[in-house]
Amino acid sequence: MSIIEIKNLTKIYDGSGIEVKAVNGIDLNFEKGEFAAIVGPSGSGKTTLLNMLGGLDHPTSGEVFIDEQNIWELKSRKLTDFRMNNIGFVFQAYNLIPVLTAKENVEFIMHLQGKSKKERNSRTQELLKAVGLEERINSRPSKLSGGQQQRVAVARALASKPKFILADEPTANLDSKSTETLLDIMEGLNKEENITFIFSTHDARVVKKARRVITIEDGKVKSDEARK
């Protein structure tokens, strides 16, 4: 059974009386354990699609089901809680809280979930070790490289034990070495722990790693290729 089902999803922006269909009637399913990349030129609709899938941007029409729950039927507060407990996010700009250490950034969502201090400590140490940053646990973002910050962001995205991770251009600000390290970590987590990753990307290195590539053009799915 699909963990994500998107039905006839549409997003229309109305600027100066001109309608622009950023996403135009998309249907997609995702199974648990996928390592999928959504690709396409700038303005094709891939980030808008990802934001609607993650409950960040309201569709004009259509439905997004996550484990059979239509997330856009939820009221604002319930949607926020659902997002917190089911979806992990990795953004291009890292979005770490600058005054918090790596440990505190990873722990933050678990505070919101009401997890105990013992559980938070254990989970945080496990995740920072998984992304190779156990020795930087007390470093603030300003003391970390871009690649290290993005690895903290991956650990933070996993902290809530989400059903899947949405990664929007996660390698865009990274050099080649940092990109390779980050992708190896995410691919390892996907294969070893069956964690689902869905990327929006321009990066050929991400596309090469993906086992499914969905190409979006003019708000529509142009192709959907499964790989071994």
Q: What is the pLDDT of residues 144-176, one digit of tens each?
A: 999 999 999 999 999 999 999 999 999 988 899
Position 15 confidence tier, pLDDT thresholds 50, 70, 90: confident
**Residue-level pLDDT at 23:** 95
Domain count, the chain: 1
**Residue-level pLDDT at 223:** 95
Query: What CATH number should be reported for the domain holding residue 115?
Result: 3.40.50.300
Amino acid code (one letter) for 228: K
Give the Cβ contact number of residue 123 at 10 Å.
19
Angle of CA points 221, 69, 169, to nearest 5°: 45
Q: Is residue 1 part of a domain?
A: no
Tell whether the model's pLDDT for residue 19 goes beyond 90.
Answer: no
Pairing of strands 220-226, 212-217: antiparallel
**Residue-level pLDDT at 84:** 93
Q: Is residue 188 part of a domain?
A: yes
Give the Cβ contact number of residue 22 at 10 Å.
21
Domain hosting residue 81, numbered range: 35-55+72-226
Position 225 confidence tier, pLDDT thresholds 50, 70, 90: very high
Has this prediction a pTM greater than 0.85?
Answer: yes
Q: Is residue 25 part of a domain?
A: no
Q: Is residue 157 part of a domain?
A: yes
